[in-house]
Amino acid sequence: MKDTVDILGVRIDRVNLTDAQNKVLDFLKEDKLHMIFTPNSEIIMAAQKDQHLMDVLNNADMLIADGIGVVYASKILGKPLPERVAGFDLASRLIPILANNHYSLYIFGGAPGVAEIAKAKLEEKNPGLRIVGVHDGYFDSQKEQEIINDINSKKPDVLFVCLGAPKQEKWIYEHREQLHVKVCMGIGGSVDVFAGKAKRAPEIYQKLGLEWFYRLMKEPWRYKRMLALPKFAWTVILERWRRQ
């Protein structure tokens, strides 16, 4: 049985970054696809109105808390998560391990040309890393099947899907029977960071759990999306009262 905490119906794995890394290494030893998703407060709130998304998330092989709000919620609900495990942090931790253990990677998503830049930068930084293919995140139904065929022809061990949530989670789930990879991770805008097209919040913001605030300062047009955060907090408090 997995050790999870129920956050408004979404079952988050109670793992720290090292635990998550070790789980991925175990997944790589098995000849089947494993889905890893990284929900934050916004995605959990979206799942309240989208049962399909809820089902997709809860069918993952590992769900990690990519958002300090999810960690706070676990404490309010009486079963604390050990720490926030951001998808970017897990991906960054895995990349040198892939390089050192001869595992291969495919990057799918981002604007045209971004994945190619990310590939070049990651391979330069991690000698021995094999990124066997890349493709941008712009496609129609015909192109989609070509992308799947290309992924399968390259036979990567790990597939990073960077389409943004919840599109990436639903895409992975929809095509889970077609993809011949061992680990499929939805990591959103991480490809832009790997390519140097975007920057993460300074470490002090990350440590204080204010990375969302830094993004809001840099991208004020995100404020409508940020409105989900206080609603999430209030919903969690109501859920605690209900459980008591």
Predicted confidence (pLDDT) per residue in 49-79, tens digit? 999 999 999 999 999 999 899 999 999 999 9
Within-domain flag for 33: yes
In a domain, 214, yes or no: no
- Cβ–Cβ < 8 Å for 236, 77: yes
Q: If you average pLDDT over residues 113-138, what whole number do you get?
A: 98
Q: Give the domain range for residue 79.
A: 4-200
Q: Give the number of domains in the chain.
A: 1
Q: What is the pLDDT of residues 156-206, one digit of tens each?
A: 999 999 999 999 999 999 999 999 999 999 999 999 999 999 887 777 777
Per-residue pLDDT for 38 more than 70? Answer: yes
In DSSP terms, 186 is beta-bridged to 161
* 241 belongs to a structural domain: no
What is the pLDDT at residue 226? Answer: 60
- For residue 208, being part of any structural domain is answered with no
Gap between the Cα atoms of 141 and 18, Å rounded: 38
Q: Would residue 158 count as lying in a domain?
A: yes
Specify whether the backbone of 196 is left (phi greater than 0), alpha (psi in -120 to 50) or beta: left
Does 211 fall in a domain? Answer: no
**Is residue 13 in a domain?**
yes
Phi-psi region of 134 (alpha: psi -120 to 50; beta: other; left: phi over 0): beta
- Say if 76 falls within a structural domain: yes
- Which CATH number goes with the domain that contains 133? 3.40.50
Q: Please give the average per-residue pLDDT across 206-225, as a whole number.
A: 64
